[in-house]
Amino acid sequence: MNNRIAVDPAVCGGEPCIRGTRIPVHVILDHLAAGESYEEILENFPRITREDILACLEYAAYLATE
């Protein structure tokens, strides 16, 4: 899987998060689902990158195949 997504029981109760942050993947996906652009998300979450957003989408696509 993508090395930008981390699952650590000591961080956010083990929810998948963007590595090095406490930002859960589902939060970024929620913003995308609400119609926010990448630029708006990056402005609201300055610690992440475009590649992190793409990693969240990749993670969601992987889970959808399960």
CATH number at residue 58: 1.10.10.10
Q: How far apart are CA 13 and CA 48, in angstroms?
A: 20
Number of domains making up the chain? 1
Beta strands in the chain (DSSP E): 5-6, 17-18
Could you tell me what percent of the chain has a pLDDT over 70?
A: 98
pLDDT at 14 over 90: yes
pLDDT tens figures, 20-47: 999 999 999 999 999 999 999 999 999 9
For 28, the enclosing helix (H) or strand (E) is helix 25-33
Domain limits for position 30: 5-64
